[in-house]
Chain A
Amino acid sequence: MKRLVSIMMEEKRDIWLSVLFGVLAGLTSVALFGLSGFMISKSVLQPPLYIITIMTALLKLFGAAKAGSRYAERYVSHRATFTILSNLRVSFYEKLEPLAPQIFGKYRSGDLLARIVGDVETLQNFFLRVFYPPLVLVIVFLSTIFFTLFYSVWIALVLLGGLVLTGFVIPGLLALQQRKVKQGVRERRAGLSTEVTELLYGFRDLKLHQKLDEKEEKLLQIADAYVQEQEKESVQAAASQSLNAAAALSVAFVVLALGAYFVTIGELNGLFLAMLVMISLTIFDNAVPMAVFPAHLEDTRQAAGRLFSVVDEEPPAPKMGMIERDDAFSIELKDVTFRYPGETRPALQNVSISIPAGSKTAIVGPSGSGKSTVMQLLLNMYTVNAGTILLDGNSMGEIQAENIWSKTNVVLQENHFFYGTVRDNLKIAGDGLTDREMEDTLRLVELPFSLDDPVLEKAENLSGGEKQRLAIARVLLKRAPVWLLDEPSSSLDVLTEKRIFGHLHEAAQKDTLVLISHRLTGLEKMDQIVVMERGNVVEAGTFNELMERKEYFYEMKQIEKNVLA
């Protein structure tokens, strides 16, 4: 909540303007109706014509002023609100970004989407209905009450009582009741959004396994529950509003009855009765919406909680270190032990790997042995639990992550492609890439695409091997001096793979290269082969060294020879 208020205070000027115009609109509207009541009573007493003329003119003036200031109030308050919301979305993304990829271990994408769209949208009510309207209400009421004091203290007191009743007592009672029935709209909404997202993402597998009907059924249940929550909320709002409206009408009624009584006993001039009644009918127009104040307050409190809880984690302290050199650098892991957050089993245990600048290293080992984890650590996506990682002799703990990323060519085991065109997906590799360069690189990786060819979400319209080649094209265009490749060619046929590797090695001639691979062929050329198993480095050396040791690698080679025979 505090966070929200401070974000809102950035639009201070608009807030004050909203209050100003809100008060103006409220007062002119009271004046308009009061005056019209007065005028009619006055007319009966046969006043001079010019008085009627002046009063009608005033009526028009108040009417115009009321309409104008209401317009201004709405315009300014909404402008401020939507600017705040827009900023909120961007700042949510900004805070989210450094938390990836760890954050995905906690939240599902559909949920995050629901937060940045739905919860942010809900927050509009905070400013529009919670933050400034009570202030406006109080000012308008107090001014009006002050005005009525001149005619009847009792009626002024009734109005004050009405304000307390409709503005505070009834909303307060409703708030107490609201606490009891916990509102589930937010959660239900997020749930639906999450499930729909998953339905869309996992569509193919749901279809193949004939689980679409089941999923649809489940989704419908969630959707219905969501609608029911909404319904509950709306009905409650309607009930609160009607209750408050009834209370407001009762106050107007008391004013009328009391006024009538005073007129009959001569305490009040009958001339003002109509005016006072009109005023009390009008002024409560402003108070009735206060009935939904607690609901909105609670709702926005929840939304803000949901929104900020995601990004509440302190972002890691900014690091200042840089890798000074522009060419290939060395990489060294010393006794690294690492556990994924929330895991008990270490993914890496006392891993030491030394990769000199400009050397070519292969990391091999069974599935799940920690190869990709090593790469994630080299990219500073996670921090190690023990041990150190040195890049060009500098400790990982001090180097800016952005600096590492800008100096590495990375192909992940699973690469993401963005919805758009082939060009959109290639041009993120660098600024000022010409079409020509991109096209040449596409040819190099044997992709027949043109730059304007569409790429669907998750590159669904590309074959497995095409995706991998597009990812390779992207790093070929980036031209950084260190290559980290995680099974870049697992979906390629051997002949294509060989040609593409030829190009890769050519491009990386002077660079440091780390290749994670399952295929043991072609490793003779590497300067070093690191064999991993169950989070440990079990062997490291050149091809020939490992073959002579006749241990793990040799055994794997033997198996390979058998199956290929």
Chain B
Amino acid sequence: MNELRKWASEQKGIMAALLGLSVLMGAVIVGQAYFLVNVVDRVFLQNQSFGAVVPMLGFLFGLMVIRAGITYANARLGVNMASKVKQRVRSILLQKWTQNPIQTAIQGQSGGKVTVMMEAVDGIDSYYREYMPQVMKASIVPLIVLAAVSYTHIWSGLIMMVTAPFIPLFYIIIGIKTQKKSEEQLDKLAAFSGQFLDTLQGLQTLKLFGRAGRQRDVIQKSSLGFREATMDILKIAFTSTLMLEFISTLSIGLIALEIGLRLVVFDSISFVSAFFVLVLAPEYYTALKELGAAFHTGRGSLGAAEKIKAELAADEQPVKWGDREVPARPSVELKNVHFQYGEGFSLKNVDVHIPSCARTAIVGATGSGKTTLLNVAAGLFDPQEGDVFIDGRPRASFSESSWFREVSYISQHPYLFSGTIEENIRLGAPGHPARAEVEAAAEKAGLTELIRELEDGLDTKVGESGRGLSGGEKQRVALARAFLKKPSFVLFDEPTTGLDLKTEQILQRSINELAQTASVMTVAHRLHTIQQADVIFLMNNGEVEAAGTHMELMKSSESYRAMVQGGAAG
């Protein structure tokens, strides 16, 4: 409850308004019963004329209108509060997600996270929309009703007092169970969403392996699991309502019996008092029952809040940054860097120096840690030991935004966003470069021919629900991002995979051009693309095995020679 309370705490005004409305509501309920009973009494027992009750009827009508008004105002305040909190929680979640380091961001299933953002946040809605107003109402209205009844007829009041505590007690027991179940329900939904999204992405793979049909069963199981979890919660809710109905019916029956006996046998109570008590008794129990129902939803929201809390608490070790501005064309140096993925693969004792405007290359067998090294150099990971220096100062003293302003990193599997080709190329550059610059960047990436052939040219929609591109075309759109930005430190992770030799040559030329004003660090399997590099680092199992120019390495490194010859030989 703490979180939910905290999120609401800024809404003191609304709370006060709710309190005022509840008191008014109690008064209206009592007044309504009073006039109702008196009208019946006067025409039924006192045989008064209709004209005599008209003013009373007038008051009664007024109160009824006020009652409807209060109900509306109450609902409206709750809705207001819920909206504010939901907006706030979504922004906290988003902030957390956008600040997560890569290593945290890739954990878990996206579908599950979407569920937290959508369903869990919507799930806390009822806490503010129903629970809070209802609690306020239910803790005040019964008190006023009770006071009115006790004043009229103390014995009925006593019965109410004695039976009332059963109701909240009962709810506390049930509420605890509800919370657990609703967490379970959200888990099930998150699992379903995660599964669905993952299946969607891999549908072609599933089909090819003849598993699409079987995946249906998995989805069905997941969906049924969600149904069961939902029904479990509802069962608790329904059972508790049933029990409450019983308790309140029993209590109302008890009151009716007591009053009836007094009226008939002892004649010790007037009709007006008796009818008054009888009209108010259900109001009293209804308010308590509503509290019960609200308590149930409140507990459900608590389950949702727990899920959000868990997402917010996901541990993170952000890359450390400072606030110094990164100078233009910085040199970058990794000194004695050690980096390990959890318990898994590690980079060991890596020393790499990249002078300003130098061309460096990283080669090595698959899985030897090339991409990992690039990630450390690009500022996506912080080394666990050793340090990264920018222009001779520790990276931690520079600001993240100024660093990334100078850097372009085209990763091994770039992502194309749903949008036009132009928008995707623009992703790379800050500000709003002219269209001509985008065209120039596309040309450097060897995309001119494709763009010319496309009906909408640069404005062709690509990405998730746009036009599909071939593997090499996607790669080139991503590379164009770097050509548009013209940064002073560029990292390419296998820029020419999936490209034919001719296109590769175009790109090679563009990269050479870029390299005149920037340090370029390239990971490559095709060794001919990096022979001009000033330094080539040969990675082996997380370590830099050898470093030097192509010529030097040909002489000194057996494994480098083997790789080069392997590439050339037929």
Contact = CB atoms under 8 A, between A and B. Distances in A.
Nearest to B101: A207
Given A70-B245, A270-B45, A367-B499, A464 B412 contact: yes
A55 B119 CA distance: 49
Q: Rank and list the top 7 A-B pairs by shortest CB-CB distance, nearest first.
A: A367-B472, A465-B366, A63-B249, A270-B44, A67-B245, A238-B75, A416-B202
A94 B44 contact: no
Main secondary structure of the interface of B (DSSP, over half): helix
Contacts of B378: 208
A39 B365 contact: no
Given A412-B205, A563-B501, A202 B274 contact: no
B72 A242 contact: yes
B318 to A, nearest CB: 12
A260 B64 contact: no
Interface centre among A71, A93, A250 (most CB of B within 10 A): A93
Contacts of B203: 97, 100-101
B467 A220 contact: no
Contacts of B53: 260
Interface stretch (A104-112, A131-139, A300-308): A104-112
A417 B202 CA distance: 7
A123 interface: no
A204 B380 CA distance: 9
B268 interface: no
Given A86-B224, A379-B208, A466-B366, A246 B44 contact: no
Interface in B218-238: 219-220, 223-224, 226-227, 230-231, 234-235, 238
A108 B465 contact: yes
B12 to A, nearest CB: 20
Given A40-B275, A234-B129, A368-B472, A83 B102 contact: no
Interface centre among A242, A259, A372 (most CB of B within 10 A): A242
A271 B44 CA distance: 7
Interface stretch (B76-84, B159-167, B434-442): B76-84
A460 to B, nearest CB: 4
B413 to A, nearest CB: 7
A487 B365 CA distance: 18
A438 to B, nearest CB: 14
B198 A44 contact: no
B265 A49 contact: yes
Contacts of B24: none
Given A246-B68, A491-B366, A238 B76 contact: yes
Interface centre among B86, B471, B568 (most CB of A within 10 A): B471
Interface stretch (A74-82, A143-151, A322-330): A74-82
A381 interface: yes
Nearest to B53: A260
A64 interface: yes
A345 B204 contact: no
B245 A40 contact: no
Interface stretch (B103-111, B320-328, B350-358, B389-397): B103-111
A46 B86 CA distance: 59
A118 B97 CA distance: 22
Given A230-B125, A264-B43, 20 more contacts: A36-B278, A41-B275, A43-B263, A67-B245, A94-B216, A111-B465, A209-B427, A212-B98, A234-B129, A260-B40, A265-B50, A274-B44, A367-B475, A367-B476, A405-B209, A410-B208, A414-B471, A416-B204, A457-B108, A493-B563
Contact of A44 (B45, B205, B230, B476): B45
Interface string A316-349: 0000000000000000000000001011110000
Interface string B402-439: 00110111011111011000000001101000000000
B237 to A, nearest CB: 8
Interface in B185-221: 189, 192-194, 196-212, 215-216, 219-220
A559 B501 contact: yes
Contacts of A265: 50
Nearest to A117: B193
A415 interface: yes
Given A82-B230, A256-B57, A491-B494, A196 B87 contact: no
A515 interface: no
Given A86-B223, A196-B117, A372-B471, A231 B80 contact: yes
Contacts of A250: 61, 64
Contacts of B122: 230
B525 A56 contact: no
Contacts of A457: 106, 108-110, 198
Interface stretch (B139-147, B294-302, B308-316, B448-456): B448-456
Contacts of A252: 64
A337 B114 CA distance: 41
15 contacts: A59-B256, A71-B238, A71-B239, A78-B234, A110-B114, A197-B197, A274-B44, A365-B500, A366-B500, A367-B476, A379-B208, A456-B107, A466-B367, A490-B498, A495-B365
Interface stretch (A7-15, A166-174, A221-229): A221-229
A163 B240 CA distance: 31
Contact of B204 (A47, A100, A466): A100
A545 interface: no
A492 interface: yes
Interface stretch (B88-96, B513-521, B546-554): B88-96
A100 B106 contact: no
Interface stretch (A350-358, A386-394, A502-510, A516-524): A516-524
A202 B86 CA distance: 25
A75 to B, nearest CB: 6
A231 B78 CA distance: 10
A368 B366 contact: no
A524 B364 contact: no
B31 interface: no
A494 B499 contact: no
Contacts of B529: 563
B271 interface: yes
A410 B260 CA distance: 84
Interface string B35-59: 0100110111101111001000100
A225 B107 CA distance: 29
A359 interface: no
B274 A256 contact: no
Contacts of B105: 200, 203-204
Contacts of A274: 40, 44, 275
B261 A52 contact: yes
Contacts of A86: 220, 223-224, 226-227
Contacts of B497: 464, 490-491
Contact of A75 (B79, B111, B238, B407): B238
A367 B208 contact: no
Contacts of B401: 210
Interface string A460-489: 110111100100001000100000000100
B253 interface: yes
Contacts of B334: none
B249 A64 contact: yes
A93 B208 contact: no
A16 interface: no
A271 B227 CA distance: 51
A564 interface: yes
B246 interface: yes
B501 A560 contact: yes
Given A242-B69, A242-B72, A253-B61, A104 B464 contact: yes
Interface centre among B129, B275, B409 (most CB of A within 10 A): B275
A415 B113 contact: no
B255 to A, nearest CB: 10
B20 interface: no
Interface string B460-490: 0000111110111101101001000000000
Contacts of A43: 259-260, 263-264, 274
A249 interface: yes
B412 A491 contact: yes
Contacts of B250: 60, 63
